[in-house]
Structure 1
Amino acid sequence: MEEEASDAESPILAEVTAAGGDETLKGMTKFSAPELDALWALVEPAVTIAWTQGRGRKPSISGKDALFVTLTVLKHFDTWQKHAIDFNIGMSTLEKMVHRVIRTIEPVQYPQMVKRVTMANQVESGNAFRNYPHAHYATDIKFQPAYRPSGRFTEQKVYFSAKHKIYGFKIECSVAPPGLAVDVSDHSPGSCSDVTMMLDRLTVHRQMLRKDDTSGPEMGGEPPQFPDIYP
């Protein structure tokens, strides 16, 4: 009876699971059914409140289905139109729903599931950079294409990248071996230069790279010009 009730409350997820089982679910979200259930148990109270508050029309898609759809969008990151067709949801509705889910679950997940990667962790687990063993992480700028924004030309042009010849956004992302993102910036317009973005976030990096008594062992051969931070 409990499984039938769950299926009725999450018809999109139930249909996918019935059609392809756990393998299809993992292919779409990278989560198995037990893992998705565990994640849902963590965020269910927050999502339920967000989905039931207010006086307007209640969402036609359940909270758990919304979480499943959001995980699928985040994994495949196709166009909103493509995902809207796949799930038979209006494109505008889908976009608003995904953003709402992310805003709702991020404050719940971050403190419980995100653990700071320290230099000690990297050295002890053998994940230090091979050629740069004293480096904590690598940083680069990622360009994300987007639709041409509405509004006046002067407002649109700041999102145009002369390098990529299209409109979009940029983010700065820092990754530690073996491929774990340890920091992601807010997005900037596509016209913003990579150097400007990095210079604007120097304070963030100095804080993240600061050495303390527990951050890591003395490895020897460290560059003398950086006594207080990892280079």
Structure 2
Amino acid sequence: MNEYIKKYANNTRKSRLQQKILESLFVRSRAHDKVLGDDDNDDIDSPSPIYHQFLRDDTQSIATLTNFAPLEFERLWNSIRAHAADHWNVGRSHKSKQQPKDVLFMFLVVLKHCGKWDVVANVLRIKTGTFQKMILSFAEVVSPYLYEKYVVSAAGKFTMEALVLGDNTFHNYPSARYAPDVTFQQSNMPTGQTSSSRLQSRADIQIFRNNHEFHLQHLLMSSMETELADEGPLTTEHPDSWAVLADKGYQGLAADFRAITPFKKQPLRELTLEQMETNDRIAHDRVLVENYFGRLCTLWAM
């Protein structure tokens, strides 16, 4: 319980600090203009006035607000520009007055800093309900596209055959295709009705199982990969599958997948020396993904 209270307190302090940073940046930027995004504002002649106002005032503020440097933001915008134009803010329903590039900017600000919807909405001078609806509708449009572009395509590019031939497999468990980490989510997730089923209330293993089609597809050995050497664990139970290198939060996953998980200490029983060595080997291979997700959590206040 003490650990929970300490973690909650740390998250609360972090959320307040982020809110102060966010508000100070917006206030400083608004010093040049009366209202952000005001159609009557002639100071910024741009198709995306909100983004370019911050870019004009201080280029470093873009990275502070979004974790993307201006060049990186432009690359991301160029990658989704056509998709956003075809699928967002179209149809007969009420259209947003904001420009797609500005909405992408605000969307990234929400992912990094948002504690409550009204905080970001107020500093942007947008009504809370309108702001929330705009961000969620934009997320529904761009999230599947970004997932296909940067996740699914990467899974297709870095096949197990490519990893083996490139000598890029895990050191102790070369038969492992990838390693999932514990769920990462915003500790200061925006409040309000975001979804009837919230990810943060689900166990990591359940989230993995809910995505079983993706995992089964990318763990399945291709006809060429069946010729590759595979002396890893669970080959008898899953002869046509590569392994997934998981942590203790995925105990029991081996019933459905070729999941390599560390041994868990049982009540009144100590782990054997062999079991501890196995756990050390798994931890050694997983340290890369642990550090990677740890960095993500730091960057995005997850």
TM-score (norm 1): 0.62
SS at match of 1:136: strand
| C-alpha spacing 1:54/1:82, structure 2 compared with 1 (3 Å) | same
Structure 1 residue corresponding to 2:239, chosen from 220, 227, 231: 227
1:130 and 2:159 are equivalent in the alignment: no
Q: What are the ranges of 5 or more consecutive residues in structure 2 without an aligned counterpart?
A: 1-41, 244-302
SS at match of 1:54: coil
The answer on whether the counterparts of 1:10 and 1:64 sit within 8 Å (CA) in structure 2 is: yes
The Cα offsets for residues 27-74 of structure 1, whole Å up to 9 and x where unpaired, read as 322333333334333433443343253263x42321110011112222
The Cα offsets for residues 186-214 of structure 1, whole Å up to 9 and x where unpaired, read as xxxx2x55555555555543332111135
Structure 1 residue corresponding to 2:66, chosen from 24, 29, 45: 29
User: For the residues of structure 1 that align with 2:207 and 2:81, how far apart are their CA atoms?
Assistant: 36
Alignment partner, residue 170 of structure 1: 199
User: For the residues of structure 2 that align with 1:148 and 1:72, how far apart are their CA atoms?
Assistant: 17
Q: CA deviation at 1:220?
A: 4.5
Question: Residues 26-175 of structure 1: matches in 2 within 5 Å?
Answer: 26-49=63-86, 50-54=88-92, 56=94, 58-76=95-113, 78-114=115-151, 115=153, 116=155, 117-124=158-165, 127-140=168-181, 142=183, 144=185, 147=191, 169-170=198-199
The answer on whether the counterparts of 2:220 and 2:241 sit within 8 Å (CA) in structure 1 is: yes
Q: CA deviation at 1:97?
A: 1.4
User: For the residues of structure 1 that align with 2:136 and 2:192, how far apart are their CA atoms?
Assistant: 19
Alignment partner, residue 56 of structure 2: 18
The Cα offsets for residues 139-177 of structure 1, whole Å up to 9 and x where unpaired, read as 35527566587xxxxxxxxx8xxxxxxxx8336xxxxxx
Query: Structure 2 counterpart of 1:120, which letter?
Result: E
Q: CA deviation at 1:90?
A: 2.7
Query: Structure 2 counterpart of 1:207, which letter?
Result: Q
1:208 and 2:237 are equivalent in the alignment: no
Relative to its length, the structure with more helix (as a share) is 2
User: For the residues of structure 2 that align with 1:51 and 1:208, how far apart are their CA atoms?
Assistant: 34
Higher relative contact order (CA 8 A, sep 6+): 2
User: For the residues of structure 2 that align with 1:55 and 1:229, how far apart are their CA atoms?
Assistant: 46
The answer on whether the counterparts of 2:175 and 2:230 sit within 8 Å (CA) in structure 1 is: no
Query: Structure 1 counterpart of 2:128, which letter?
Result: M
The answer on whether the counterparts of 2:77 and 2:101 sit within 8 Å (CA) in structure 1 is: yes
Alignment partner, residue 163 of structure 1: none
SS at match of 2:198: strand
| C-alpha spacing 1:121/1:83, structure 2 compared with 1 (3 Å) | farther
Relative to its length, the structure with more strand (as a share) is 1
User: For the residues of structure 1 that align with 2:70 and 2:47, how far apart are their CA atoms?
Assistant: 16
Q: CA deviation at 1:76?
A: 4.1
The answer on whether the counterparts of 1:7 and 1:14 sit within 8 Å (CA) in structure 2 is: no
| C-alpha spacing 1:221/1:103, structure 2 compared with 1 (3 Å) | same
TM-score (norm 2): 0.50
Q: CA deviation at 1:100?
A: 1.5
Q: CA deviation at 1:219?
A: 4.3
Q: How many residues align?
A: 190
Query: Structure 1 counterpart of 2:69, which letter?
Result: S
User: For the residues of structure 1 that align with 2:224 and 2:43, how far apart are their CA atoms?
Assistant: 49
